[in-house]
A = this chain, B = another copy of it.
């Protein structure tokens, strides 16, 4: 089957979604990211792998947080970075997305990081560009946000390396999450035997169990003996809406407190993609507690994004060793 993310000989060409990435590529990204964790701890946090390359962040919807992580990752690789907020630009003059992209390619952009609220925008661009141009999906609609999914898996592997032996619970708004589906796919591909989702029925997609997960509507049962608790963000617009009684009520039932966390294994880790709603989906004491790996997730997010860009530009884990600048 044709896979737009891979070249004909099975190398990563674009990163559009975690679905469709074979285990070999997932492992390559995670192993390469491992080599970049050390770079961030050096005195000089830079390697010259993308020197003279141009990374173009095209954001059709605003997201300072995501844009910043890609910008830092690209600069640590010594790339030149261009930030374009396209909603305020040529689009207003009636130019099509593909004309905008073609212009940037004509200026010799090498990698596009694309965020668009419509599902499939990054795919559309990936299908259009020449073989030496690479596209990274930085979030499209509620479809995919693959680097977030990858950094979550990377974080789990760092803290719990024996993945074939793990029990992972994903808690909260699975229905509207850009990443839950990617994470479920990545975890099962990497051999995690048991993935659970815990949420009210109104926040679960239909037939979610077909993704290979166990469904719980109760925190006590769902968190029982898990190794990893992945909290999802509750979007402001869901609270006090038709789907939920209130933020306070949600916190009481599904908000992660230490009391509920104690159902999990004593060394279970707590994750959250940020930004957190403290007191809604997670209690401050847990967010800042010693089981939380929420800030390490952010750190590893830079390493994972560096890894993806380095691999797309032709540099894999083996070629990076010793590449200090």
Interface residues of A in 17-42 (CB under 8 A from B): 40-42
User: Smallest CB–CB gap between A162 and chain B, Å?
Assistant: 25
- Report the separation of the CA atoms of residues A53 and B46 in the bound assembly, to the nearest whole angstrom: 9
The answer to whether A52 touches B42 (Cβ under 8 A) is yes
Tally of this chain's copies? 3
Number of A interface residues at 8 Å Cβ cutoff, please give it. Answer: 54
User: Smallest CB–CB gap between A155 and chain B, Å?
Assistant: 12
Is A69 interfacial (CB-CB < 8 Å)? Answer: yes
User: Smallest CB–CB gap between A250 and chain B, Å?
Assistant: 14
Is A194 interfacial (CB-CB < 8 Å)? Answer: no
Given A52-B44, A52-B45; A295-B102 close (CB under 8 Å): yes
Is A64 interfacial (CB-CB < 8 Å)? Answer: yes
Is A190 interfacial (CB-CB < 8 Å)? Answer: no
Is A106 interfacial (CB-CB < 8 Å)? Answer: yes
User: Smallest CB–CB gap between A71 and chain B, Å?
Assistant: 7
- Report the separation of the CA atoms of residues A276 and B96 in the bound assembly, to the nearest whole angstrom: 9
- Report the separation of the CA atoms of residues A89 and B100 in the bound assembly, to the nearest whole angstrom: 25
The answer to whether B90 touches A275 (Cβ under 8 A) is yes
- Report the separation of the CA atoms of residues A96 and B65 in the bound assembly, to the nearest whole angstrom: 14
- Contact with A93, one of B46, B102, B275 (Cβ below 8 angstroms): B275
The answer to whether A274 touches B103 (Cβ under 8 A) is yes
Is A62 interfacial (CB-CB < 8 Å)? Answer: yes
Is A43 interfacial (CB-CB < 8 Å)? Answer: yes
Interface residues of A in 63-116 (CB under 8 A from B): 64-65, 68-69, 71-72, 75-76, 80, 82, 84-86, 88-90, 93-96, 99-100, 102-108
Residues of B within 8 A of A93 (CB): 236, 275
The answer to whether A302 touches B46 (Cβ under 8 A) is no
* Of listed A88, A104, A108, residue having the most chain B CB within 10 A: A108
Residues of B within 8 A of A86 (CB): 64
The answer to whether A68 touches B52 (Cβ under 8 A) is no
Residues of B within 8 A of A125 (CB): none
The answer to whether B106 touches A296 (Cβ under 8 A) is yes
User: Smallest CB–CB gap between A255 and chain B, Å?
Assistant: 15
* Of listed A46, A64, A86, residue having the most chain B CB within 10 A: A64
Is A277 interfacial (CB-CB < 8 Å)? Answer: yes
The answer to whether B277 touches A103 (Cβ under 8 A) is no
- Report the separation of the CA atoms of residues A103 and B69 in the bound assembly, to the nearest whole angstrom: 10
> What are 20 A-B residue pairs whose CB atoms fall within 8 Å in the complex?
A40-B108, A41-B108, A45-B52, A46-B51, A46-B52, A54-B72, A62-B89, A64-B89, A64-B90, A65-B89, A68-B84, A68-B107, A90-B275, A93-B275, A94-B275, A94-B277, A99-B278, A100-B275, A103-B298, A107-B298
> Considering the complex of A and B, which 7 residue pairs feature the smallest CB-CB distances, nearest first?
A44-B52, A106-B298, A64-B89, A95-B275, A106-B295, A45-B52, A46-B52
Known contacts A64-B88, A99-B274, then 7 further A-B pairs from the complex at CB < 8 Å, ordered by chain A residue: A42-B52, A45-B54, A46-B52, A68-B84, A102-B295, A106-B298, A108-B302
